[in-house]
């Protein structure tokens, strides 16, 4: 037996599989260092053939090298590429390597250029053959004679009084990739001019699907046709013409939906339009999903993305970063860890593609997620159910890639609900309601935090019954304006409640209550030049359905515009954005389409009108009373605790793109 083992070891050594060495003390070692015994390079005949693989590569082939030790599957093939004949013979420089394979596809080559290749084989010991067999090929891309497939110009919308923006979908081509397709733009002041005689006025860089046309004459109508060309100059001949007047002053009223429910709870303005988020149902699904809708400046639908699972999901807040990334936050049951409602936080590209999605959860309910941008990331707030059934609010700070940097719990001994946050100059303003006096009576509160989520100021505002704040705005002077609902200072049904506070929260500037008729509520508050705008809903005396409400007040809280907007069923306003001239209001309506709720989007003048006749039947003067009040303002008792029980994890969400039709569309000339 010992003799057999000895002979086996000697055989292994002789074939190079084992090496034996000894030190000065006479001890020996058997190892696996092939290089110490294998000094022979592989036997390799070199590159066999080379073939141009249309439309974008050259393929190299060779037969397997043979080696005395290294098996074929472990031999490494080193590829040298040169643009000069003999370049790899004179100076063999590694460009690519593969192991065990007998071919390689080289991409990224220039059309019409000659390339020279030399391939050598290397074994595991590092021995490399020295063959000098060089082969060459001219990379000549196949001539394309087919024009791209292109649907033409999708949108032509005003950017300013002297510019318009053109947008279209990518063209497709049989050879040229979409990122290399260029687009020719024809502009005419005659309808059909670019169809009968297409003359290129502008040309885009390759792969660009939007173009801003500038230095136009205000209030003049222009006609555009866009056509696509591939790398070989083949241009398609679509006749899709769009016209536009360079002006963004037109008012409009739009509704969006289909045969099932759709709603918008938050929206933001971007340079080329608006982005809305909310909830809705797809087809026959009973539970809602998150809907994110991008519109152009006229309210035309650019795309609609749906995010969700097999249970109820919805979006409650949206924000956009300076680079155009879209951040959304809402509630999910589809991905719930413990079966209750969790927070879903996601980042989308400007095209609506999901870049990341996070689930924020505890063992109980986590609700009303709100987000806003801060200089170095995103602030997210909400409220979470505690083990004793009460609710505490929380703040979390994420970087732009979704990494959690800090989080805190806003805690007192009673229920605390944050309803809205706003970031101004890296200060975080949060409003909501809490019940320090009893389980049924609530006071409104405001808390101001710094970038590190530390409390700077906090106030409770309210008296005997019920007050809650649902919106906050900060004007150019730094004054803080709060709005919500009260039962203490008006009737017991609920009235609109607005308070102006000094920038340092040292006292109030004004406080008002507005009583309309029945129950009123505020959806949003915004600054409009030197005024404040409130939107919400009420139930008027002439009917039992909800109506949208618009109130514009001066800096003392005195109303200067009072209107309500009603259809034949429920209609309401939830959000408002302003610029120097106009009001942009998002809400919901069931008056337009078979009692099914749809998104309602209006662009109005500062007086709440359209400037045309498209909304006359909807606009009504609002009869209401106003009253000065003097609510109690006192220091709050919130403390900051750790949020060790609030967890964050990555979650993979389902997404799809759907359509949307406009039931009622009106653009006032």
- What H or E segment, with its residue span, contains residue 264? strand 262-270
Q: Does position 635 have pLDDT exceeding 50, yes or no?
A: yes
pLDDT tens-digit map of 317-375: 999 999 999 999 999 999 988 888 999 999 999 999 999 999 999 989 999 999 999 99
Between the ranges 192-206, 401-415, 596-610, where is the mean pLDDT highest? 192-206
Which pLDDT value is given to residue 310? 86
Mean pLDDT over residues 589-595, rounded?
A: 73
**pLDDT for residue 594:** 59
Average pLDDT, rounded, for the chain = 87
pLDDT in tens, 134-189: 999 988 776 788 999 999 998 787 777 788 889 898 999 988 889 999 999 999 99
pLDDT at res. 339 = 82
DSSP label at residue 606: T
Of 187-191, 200-204, 281-285, 540-544, least confident by mean pLDDT is: 540-544
Closest CA to 658 of 398, 290, 249: 290
DSSP 172-230: B-SSS-GGG-EEEEEEESSTTHHHHS---SEEPPTT--EEEE-SPPTT--EEEEEEEE-
For 544-556, give one letter per residue: b (16+ CB within 10 A) or e: ebbbbbbbbbebe
Which contacts (CB < 8 Å, 24+ apart) does range 586-593 have? 586/264, 586/267, 586/276, 587/264, 587/523, 587/535, 587/537, 587/548, 588/263, 588/264, 589/255, 591/566, 591/567, 592/255, 592/567, 592/663, 592/664, 593/255, 593/257, 593/663
How many helices and strands in the chain, by DSSP H and E? 3, 51
The share of the chain scoring above pLDDT 90, in percent, equals 62
- Ranking 64-78, 188-202, 567-581 by mean pLDDT, the lowest is 567-581
Who wins on pLDDT, 615 or 492? 492
**3-class SS of residue 11:** helix
Q: Among residues 43, 666, 653, which one has the least CA distance to residue 311?
A: 653
Burial class (CB in 10 A: 0-12, 13-18, 19+), 182: buried
- Going by pLDDT thresholds of 50, 70 and 90, the confidence category of residue 544 is low
Confidence of residue 282 (pLDDT cuts 50, 70, 90): confident
pTM: 0.67
Q: 7: pLDDT confidence band, cut at 50, 70 and 90? A: very low
Count CB-CB contacts under 10 A for residue 117: 23
In 33-190, where do the E strands start and end?
Answer: 47-53, 57-62, 76-82, 96-99, 103-107, 113-122, 134-139, 153-160, 163-168, 182-188
Distance between CA atoms of residues 629 and 490, nearest Å:
10
Question: Average pLDDT for residues 514-532, to the nearest whole number?
Answer: 91
Q: What structural domains does the chain harbor?
A: 2-32 (no CATH), 47-139 (2.60.40.10), 153-244 (2.60.40.10)
What pLDDT score does 248 carry? Answer: 60
Q: How many CB atoms lie within 10 A of CB 243?
A: 13
Greater confidence, 256 or 543?
A: 256
SS3 272: coil
pLDDT tier, 13 (very low <50, low <70, confident <90, very high otherwise): very low
Task: Return the pLDDT at 31.
Answer: 46
Q: Which residues contact 364 (CB under 8 A, 6 or more apart)?
A: 338, 340, 384, 385, 386, 387
Give mean pLDDT, residues 234-258: 84
């Amino acid at each position: 037996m010992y003799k057999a083992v000895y002979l086996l070891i000697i055989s292994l050594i002789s074939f190079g599989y084992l090496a034996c060495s000894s030190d000065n003390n006479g001890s020996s070692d058997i190892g696996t260092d092939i290089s110490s015994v294998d000094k022979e390079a592989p036997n390799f005949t070199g590159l066999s053939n080379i073939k141009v693989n249309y439309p974008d590569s050259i393929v190299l082939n060779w037969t397997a090298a043979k080696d005395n030790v290294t098996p074929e599957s472990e031999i490494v093939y080193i590829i040298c590429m040169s643009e000069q004949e003999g370049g790899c013979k004179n100076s063999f420089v590694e460009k690519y390597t593969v192991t065990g394979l007998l071919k390689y596809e080289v991409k990224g080559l220039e059309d019409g250029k000659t390339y020279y290749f030399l391939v050598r084989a290397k074994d595991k010991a590092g021995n490399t053959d020295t063959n000098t067999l060089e082969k060459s090929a001219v990379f000549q891309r196949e001539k394309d004679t087919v024009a791209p497939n292109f649907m033409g110009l999708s949108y032509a919308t005003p950017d300013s009084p002297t510019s318009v923006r053109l947008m279209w979908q990518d063209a497709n081509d049989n050879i040229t990739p979409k990122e290399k397709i260029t687009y020719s733009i024809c502009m005419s002041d005659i309808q059909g001019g670019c169809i009968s005689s297409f003359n290129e006025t502008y040309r885009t860089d390759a792969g660009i699907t939007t173009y801003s046309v500038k230095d136009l004459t205000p209030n003049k109508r222009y006609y555009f046709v866009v056509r696509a060309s591939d790398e070989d100059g083949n241009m398609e001949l679509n006749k899709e013409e769009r016209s536009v007047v360079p002006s963004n002053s037109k008012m409009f009223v739009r509704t969006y939906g289909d045969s099932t429910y759709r709603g918008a709870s938050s929206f933001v303005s971007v340079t080329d339009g608006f982005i809305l988020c909310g909830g809705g149902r797809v087809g026959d699904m009973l539970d809602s999903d998150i809907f994110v809708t991008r519109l152009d400046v006229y309210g035309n639908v650019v795309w609609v993305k749906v995010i969700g699972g097999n249970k109820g999901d919805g979006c409650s807040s949206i924000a956009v970063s300076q680079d155009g990334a879209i951040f959304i936050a809402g509630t999910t049951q589809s991905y719930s860890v413990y079966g209750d409602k969790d927070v879903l936080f996601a980042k989308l590209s400007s095209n609506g593609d999901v870049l990341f999605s996070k689930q924020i959860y505890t063992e109980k309910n986590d609700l009303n997620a709100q987000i806003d941008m801060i200089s170095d990331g995103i602030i997210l707030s909400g409220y979470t159910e505690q083990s004793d059934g009460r609710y505490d609010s929380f703040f979390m700070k994420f970087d732009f890639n979704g990494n959690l940097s800090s989080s805190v719990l806003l805690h007192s001994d009673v229920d605390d609900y944050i309803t809205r946050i706003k970031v101004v100059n890296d200060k975080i303003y949060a409003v909501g309601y809490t019940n320090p006096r009893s389980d049924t009576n609530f006071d409104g509160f405001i808390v101001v935090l710094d970038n590190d989520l530390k409390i700077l100021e906090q106030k409770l505002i309210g008296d005997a019954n019920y007050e809650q704040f649902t919106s906050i705005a900060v004007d150019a002077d730094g004054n803080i304006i709060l709005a919500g609902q009260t039962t203490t200072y008006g009737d017991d049904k609920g009235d609109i409640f607005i308070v102006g506070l000094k920038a340092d929260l040292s006292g109030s500037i004004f406080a008002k209550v507005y009583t309309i008729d029945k129950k009123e509520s505020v959806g949003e508050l915004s600054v409009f030049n030197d005024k404040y705008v409130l939107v919400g809903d009420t139930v008027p005396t002439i009917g039992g359905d909800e109506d949208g409400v618009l109130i514009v007040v001066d800096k003392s809280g005195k109303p200067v515009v009072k209107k309500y907007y009603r259809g034949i069923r429920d209609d309401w306003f939830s959000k408002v954005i302003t610029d120097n001239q106009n009001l942009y209001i998002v809400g919901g309506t069931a008056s337009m389409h078979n009692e099914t709720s749809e998104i309602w989007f209006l662009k109005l003048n500062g007086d709440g009108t359209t400037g045309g006749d498209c909304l006359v039947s909807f606009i009504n003067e609002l009869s209401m009373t106003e009253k000065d009040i003097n609510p109690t303002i006192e220091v709050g008792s919130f403390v900051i605790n750790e949020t060790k029980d609030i967890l964050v994890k990555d979650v993979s969400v389902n997404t799809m793109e759907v359509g949307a039709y406009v039931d009622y569309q009106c653009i006032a000339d």
